[in-house]
Amino acid sequence: MSETNPARRVILITGATSGIGRAAAFALAKKGAHVIIHGRDEVKTDQLRREIIVACGHLQVDTIVADLFLLTEVRKMADHINERYKNLDVLINNAGGLMGTEREETPEGHEKTVALNLFAPFLLTELLLEKLKKSNDGRIINVSSVAHKHLAKPDFYDIENKKNYSVSKAYGDAKLFLILISQKLSRDLRTAGITNVTVNTLHPGLVASNFLGGSGLSSWVKFISKISVPFSKTSAQGAATIIYLATSNEVRGVSGKYFDNSRPVKVSARYNAVENENLVRDYCEKVAVSLLQNDPDK
């Protein structure tokens, strides 16, 4: 694989303290990148920083702590990045997960699955986009899932599943929505003549990790997950496509694609329509505007 030189490129990875995010952080730091690792827990995030520094042999590893369930914290995180760093070359929106069997809302009033898997990456990307435009090779990488093909049953007029919630539907919907807004952003950038920033999504594969830990899922779902572990990828294998999209020259300038095993594959055609992209994007924008209007710090 031909790589763009990752040395000195600034890369932000959300959800970096476990699983594929952690594996990607180690791999990219070892390649010489200036890695910013995000986590929810300050102690775990700082411990990871120390481990990466020892493993990769350089000090260009920074941390940022934020609870991405809360859009106010996403905004504060983006403010910190914009103020502290002159440039940002790669944004990896990796943080995500399944929630519980009962529908729950964040303190800000948003369904938790869509808040973490859709609103957080949408808002973070929007707030960091100008910084990414300053890179000669800016890359936005959104971690989606094959669940968009098998679990999504979206109502595009009920994005937050107020009428018909199930944990699997909510997760599949959110990962589908993330693909749709990524395709929309890619096309909008090209229409605006911006060719130095790309947007791609990926399926990391079934990864043996603590992905379901604490999700509140029923025992049989956790049992299925457990018995599938022998057929799963390691975290390092699951991170391979992330690393490929972040560093490979083969995908420089490639945008609006969905990848699996470092290859572009087709998105499920059932809901893949420009009209649906616009509906999801419009809803995300309304959520973001409402946040900024009601934020006392703004």
95-116 pLDDT tens trace: 999 898 899 999 999 999 999 9
**Residue 224 scores a pLDDT above 50:** no
Specify the pTM. Answer: 0.91
Residue 268 lies in a domain: yes
- Please spell the DSSP secondary structure of 18-82, one letter per residue: SHHHHHHHHHHHHTT-EEEEEES-HHHHHHHHHHHHHHHS-S-EEEEE--TTSHHHHHHHHHHHH
Residue 139 lies in a domain: yes
Return mean pLDDT, the chain. Answer: 90
Q: Which residues are catalytic?
A: 171
**Residue 269 scores a pLDDT above 80:** yes
Specify whether the CB–CB gap between 24 and 259 falls below 8 A.
no
Question: By C-alpha distance, which of 185, 255, 242, 244 is closest to 12?
Answer: 242
Residue 204 lies in a domain: yes
Q: Domain count for the chain, please give it.
A: 1
Residue 289 lies in a domain: yes
**Residue 91 scores a pLDDT above 50:** yes
pLDDT at 232: 55
Specify whether the CB–CB gap between 208 and 233 falls below 8 A.
yes
Quote the CA–CA distance of 103 and 64 in Å, as a whole number: 29
Residue 1 lies in a domain: no
Residue with token string 């509906």: 279
Residue 71 lies in a domain: yes
pLDDT digits (tens, 9 = 90+) for 151-175: 899 999 999 999 999 999 999 999 9
CATH number reported for the structural domain that contains residue 99 in this entry: 3.40.50.720
Range of the domain at 218: 10-294
Q: What are the angstrom distances between the C-alpha of 72 and each of 65, 84, 92, 143, 272?
A: 13, 18, 19, 22, 30
